[in-house]
Structure 1
Amino acid sequence: MNKIDFKKTLRGYRAKHGVFDTLTMPPLQYLMVDGHGDPNSSPDFTSAIETLYPLAYALKFFSKNELGRDYVVPPLEGLWWAEDMSTFTSARDKSQWDFTLMLLVPDWLDQSHLDHASTLSAQRKTLPRLGDLRMTTLHEGTSIQTLHIGPFDTEGPVLELMHTDVIPAAGFEMTGRHHEIYLSDLRRTAPEKLRTVLRQPVQTTAAGRSTAN
Structure 2
Amino acid sequence: MMRVDPKRELAGYTARRNVFDEIVVPPRRFAMVDGSGDPNTSDAYRDALATLYPFSYALKSIAKRELGRDHVVAPLEALWWADDMASFTTARDKKAWSWTVMILVPEGIAEVHTDAARSVAHRKDAPALDRLRIESFDEGLCIQTLHVGPYDEEGPVLARLHEQVIPERGFRMRGVHHEIYLGDPRRSAPERLRTILRQPVAKDRGR
Q: Does TM, normalized by the shorter one, top 0.5?
A: yes
What SS does structure 2 have at the residue aligned with 1:49?
helix
RMSD, matched Cα = 0.8
Q: Name the structure 1 match of 2:66.
A: 66
Deviations 1:45-100 (A, max 9, x none): 10000000000011111101110111000110000000111100011100000000
Structure 2 counterparts to residues 111-122 of structure 1, below 5 A: 111-122=111-122
2:85 maps to amino acid? M
Residue 11 in structure 1 maps to residue 15 in structure 2: no
Name the amino acid aligned to 2:19. Answer: V
> Residue type matched to 1:59 in 2?
L
Contact 1:51 1:127 in 2 (8 A): yes
Consecutive unaligned residues of structure 2, counting only runs of 5 or more, are none
CA contact (8 A) 1:31 1:105 kept: yes
Letter in 1 for 2:144: Q
- Whichever residue aligns with residue 148 of structure 1, its letter is H
Of Structure 1 and Structure 2, the greater helix share is in: 1
Matched-pair identity in %: 53
Q: CA–CA distance in 1 between the matches of 2:27 and 2:71?
A: 18
Counterparts of 1:6-85 in structure 2 under 5 Å? 6-85=6-85
- 1:95-135: CA deviations, max 9, x gaps? 00000000001121132211121113312x21111010000
- The letter of the residue matching 1:150 is G
Normalised to the residue count of structure 2, the TM-score between the two structures is 0.98
SS across alignment from 2:49: helix
One-letter code aligned to 1:116 = A
| CA displacement, residues 23-62 of structure 1 (integer Å, 9 cap, x when unaligned) | 0001011000011111110111100000000000111111
1:88 aligns to what?
A: 88
Rounded Cα–Cα distance in structure 1 between residues aligned with 2:82 and 2:184: 26
8 Å CA contact 1:150–1:191 kept in 2: the answer is: yes
AA matched with 2:93 = D
Deviating above 3 A after TM superposition, structure 1's stretches of 4 or more consecutive aligned residues are: none
Contact 2:149–2:190 (CA under 8 A) maintained in structure 1: yes
SS at match of 2:109: coil
Is the 2:55–2:120 contact (alpha carbons within 8 Å) kept by the matching residues of 1? no
